[in-house]
Structure formats: structure tokens, C-alpha cells
Chain A
Amino acid sequence: MIVAIAAGLQPKLTFNPLDSAATVTAFIVQVSLGDLPHGSIGYQSIFAAGAVLFLMTLGFNLAGHALRRRFHRAA
């Protein structure tokens, strides 16, 4: 949410760190603020976005876990 406010909420694809962009979270928040009947396209797309976010987070967590395990063994 911090990022949602600070990054500017612009749906752009850009690698320039100085440009405004949106995060997955901000996207979901924007869509949720509007009307969202159960089963509509908007409804389904926020879940799809959420799934992507979850997989990314899971990937980070597992990588972190593996790294920690490797350093434990080394020690």
C-alpha cells in the first residue's frame, strides 16, 4: 500500500526507476475500489493477479529457505 501511494498508480510497463508505475497490489486495490460483482471479468482478473503475486512470493521464500539451509550447513 505504501508503494501504491508513493509510486503513482500509473499502469505502465517500464524499467526506468524514475518513472511512475503500478504494483500488483496497487492494481488489485484500484480494481477493488470500483464495482466488482461476483464472477465478473474484473473479479476474475484480480484473483489471477493475486495468483501471480503469490507465486512470486513463494519463489522468494523458497529461495530464501534454501539459502539459509546452505549457510547453516557450511557453518
Chain B
Amino acid sequence: MLPDRFLEHQTEMALRRKTIDRWFGRLGFVLTLSTLAVLAVLLLNLAANGLSRIDWHFLTSFPSRKAAEAGVLSAWVGTALLMLVTASLAIPLGVAAGIYLEEYAPKNKWTDFVEINIANLAGVPSILYGLMALGLFVYKFRFGQSILAGGMALGCLVLPIVIVATREALRTIPAMIREAAFALGATRWQAVWHHLLPYSTGGISTGVILAMSRAIGESSPLITIGALTFIAFLPPPALLPHPPFVSFEWIFSPFTALPIQMFNWVSRPGGEFQANAAAAGLLLMVITLGMNGVAIFLRRHAQRNIKW
């Protein structure tokens, strides 16, 4: 028989451990909630200041010197077109590079070097991409201060995100599935196209949406290349009523974007434009949250039949 003192001591210790465990759980819960609280405060702040400004007029008017008449038409159209160019650059290049690095590249010093560089590029401040775009795309390649230059700058900015997401998604596919495909006589490309890409679509699309969410909020690279803040016109339309029916003139047009318009309104002295800035910010938040929602949906849909 164990002495009673010993049993008492054990019970005391067990009780203390359980208490610490419970309190840590509670602390973790509170901290997690606080991150949600930050998001809530952000949204509520924007809404409180800007919700009243959002109406059809606001969404369809150009900026103006009078705060009450100013709108975000040129800004959100600019943002949308910019995202189009960014996506068409970053997605094919990023996914292809990710596939190459993960499936084809031999493991040697050169590939190590490339990997380190991609990690570095992911950490470079976005304004440096703007500087590069200014020197290279705007002047050297003579694209001018256009949607093309801006889209390419943002495309380069988010390229590392897409590459890393693609590689991570490919890595989750078990080796046995690859071996099964190869054992049947598939070439590397056939294995990638028939199996690896389809099974990693969920992870890749999540990465793509994360990249686009990052790109949509970036203003410093765009300011650097000269995205003007008082744009009272829209880029030329892409669809024409006469042959050749499609025009790419809009790619070379000057533009503005939502974050730039916000920055411009926020930096004005006096408070009349603060409500506009908040409204534009609210719009940006809604678009970003919407994109993330789409990402979650796409991921669920793609992963529903994938079980290892």
C-alpha cells in the first residue's frame, strides 16, 4: 500500500497540471479571438467612416475636386484591368516554374541557387519592383506609364508566391501515386498533366488567390511607375463594334487603382476626403474578402475527391 501522503501529493500535482492546461487553452482561445477582433475593428472603422458614401453614384463617377462628387470608377476599373494583366503573367509563369523546379530540375548547386533567389525575391520590398518597372518597363522597353508596366511589376512581385504554392501543392502528392503512374509507362510530362496537376489544383488555386490578394493592395510600385492619381477617364475599351473587334490599346493607357486613389484622398489636408478614402477602403476589403472566399470554395471543390 502506498503511503497516503504520496497519493495526496500525486493528486495535487495532477490537479495543478490540469489547471495549467485549461488556462493555457483559454489564453490561446482569447489570443485567437483577438486576431479576429483586429479584422473586425478594421472593417467597422472603415464602415463607420465610409459606408455612407457608398452608392451607385460613388461607384460610377470619376474623382473630383469636390469630395461629395468624387467617385472610384477609374480606380476600380484600373484595379480590375491591372489584376487581369498580373494574373496572365504570374499564373502561367509561376505554375510552370513550380512544376519545373519540383518535378524536372536535378538537385544540384544551380537549383539550390535558384531556390534561394526565389525565397529572397519573396522578401524584397514591393517598391523595389516599382523601381525596376520604372527603369525597365516604362523607359527601356518604352511601355510608358501604363497598365502593362504596372501589371508586369505586380506580376513579378507575386511570382514567388505562386511558385512556392505550386511546389508545396505538388509535394503533398504521395510518392506512391507518382510511382504508379510511372510504372504504367508514363513520361514525366504525362504524369504531371494527367495526375500531378489535377490533384494539386486546390493548393495551386489557393496560392494564386493569395498572390492576387497581395497584388490588389499594393500601391507603392504603382506610384513609382507613375500611376497618376487624378485620372478622370477610363482606358480605351477592349471590345470594338467594328473589326478587328478586339483592341489592346487599353494595355498602354495610363491608369489609377483603388489603393492609389485611397492614398491620394487620405493625404489631403482637411477631412472631407477621409470618408471617400474609407469608402474606397471598404470596397477594397470587400473585393479581397470575396477573392478569399472564392479561393476557399475552389479549394474545397478541387479537393473533394482527393483522398490518399
Interface residues of A in 11-42 (CB under 8 A from B): 24-25, 28-29, 32-33, 36, 38
The answer to whether A7 has its CB under 8 Å from any CB of chain B is no
Report how many A-B pairs have Cβ atoms within 8 Å.
55
Are A61 and B123 interface neighbours, CB within 8 A? yes
- Is B58 interfacial (CB 8 A cutoff)? no
A57 touches B224 (CB 8 A): no
Interface residue? A67 (CB, 8 A): no
| Known A25-B127, A28-B224, A29-B224; contact A65-B119, beta-carbon cutoff 8 A | yes
Tell me which residues across on chain B come within 8 A of A57, comparing CB atoms.
120, 123-125, 128
**Measured CA separation A38–B226 after assembly (Å):** 12
B223 CB-CB contact with A under 8 Å: yes
- Complex contact A28–B124 (CB within 8 A): no
Q: How far is the CA of A60 from the CA of B124 in the complex (A)?
A: 10
Q: Which secondary structure characterizes the binding site on chain B?
A: helix
The reply to whether A32 and B124 contact each other, CB–CB distance below 8 Å, is no
Q: Which of A25, A50, A62 has its CB near the most chain B CB atoms (within 10 A)?
A: A50
Tier of interface size on chain B = 20 to 34
Interface residues of B in 101-140 (CB under 8 A from A): 116, 119-120, 123-125, 127-128, 130-131, 135, 139
With both chains docked as a complex, state the minimum distance between the C-beta of A3 and any C-beta of chain B, in angstroms: 10
B263 at the interface (CB under 8 A from A): yes
Question: Measured between alpha carbons, how far is A38 from B229 in the docked complex, in Å?
Answer: 20
What's the least CB distance linking B219 to chain A, in Å?
Answer: 5
A47 with B116: CB separation less than 8 A: no
Contact A61 B223 (CB under 8 A): no
In the complex with contacts A57-B123, A61-B123, A33-B223 CB distance below 8 A: yes
Question: Can you name 25 A-B residue pairings with CB atoms under 8 Å?
Answer: A1-B218, A1-B220, A1-B259, A1-B263, A4-B220, A5-B263, A25-B127, A28-B224, A32-B130, A32-B226, A33-B229, A36-B226, A47-B131, A50-B128, A50-B131, A53-B127, A53-B128, A54-B124, A54-B128, A57-B124, A57-B128, A61-B119, A62-B120, A65-B116, A65-B119
Using a CB–CB cutoff of 8 Å, the interface residues on chain A facing chain B are 1, 4-5, 24-25, 28-29, 32-33, 36, 38, 46-47, 50, 53-54, 57-58, 60-62, 65
